[in-house]
């Protein structure tokens, strides 16, 4: 009986971290794929690259995934133009965050 318990404990020590890492890697891959899809849709909607930033973080065990749209101050109309496009592509377990515009850093 002790041998079975020892084998189960050693197996858990080895395989639980591997399973957790595989789960995290799969979620990160899904988030990267979603980010690429959203960036492509935003670029199509705006007819090219823009000052709009799209950041995607993966979902965790206790929090949903997050898509953050961020544009500098004065370019808020970019987020207004693309947020319906982004919302259509969001999975149910992700939330959309639109950040307020910040000043563009000036060169020295």
Three-state SS annotation for 75-96: CHHHHHHHHHHHHHHCCCCEEE
Interval 6-34: pLDDT, tens: 898 998 889 999 999 999 999 999 999 99
Question: According to the CATH classification, is domain 2-99 in 3.30.2310?
Answer: no
Q: Where are the domains of the chain?
A: 2-99
Q: Are 20 and 41 within 8 A, CB to CB?
A: no
pLDDT score of 104: 64
Q: How much is the pTM?
A: 0.80
What is the pLDDT at residue 108?
63
- 86 pLDDT more than 90: yes
Q: Mind listing the pLDDT tens digit for each residue in 30-84?
A: 999 999 999 999 999 999 998 999 999 999 889 999 999 998 888 888 999 999 9
Beta bridge partners of 99: 70
């Amino acid at each position: 009986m002790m041998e079975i318990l020892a084998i189960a404990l050693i197996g858990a020590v080895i395989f639980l971290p591997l399973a957790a890492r595989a789960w995290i890697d799969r979620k990160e891959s899904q988030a990267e794929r979603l980010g690429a899809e959203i960036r492509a849709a935003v670029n199509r909607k705006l007819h090219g690259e823009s000052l709009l930033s799209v950041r995607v973080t993966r979902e965790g065990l206790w929090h949903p995934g997050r898509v953050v749209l961020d544009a500098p101050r004065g370019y808020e109309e970019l987020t207004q133009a693309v947020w319906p496009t982004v919302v259509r592509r969001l999975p149910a377990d992700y939330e959309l965050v639109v950040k307020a515009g910040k000043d563009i850093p000036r060169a020295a």
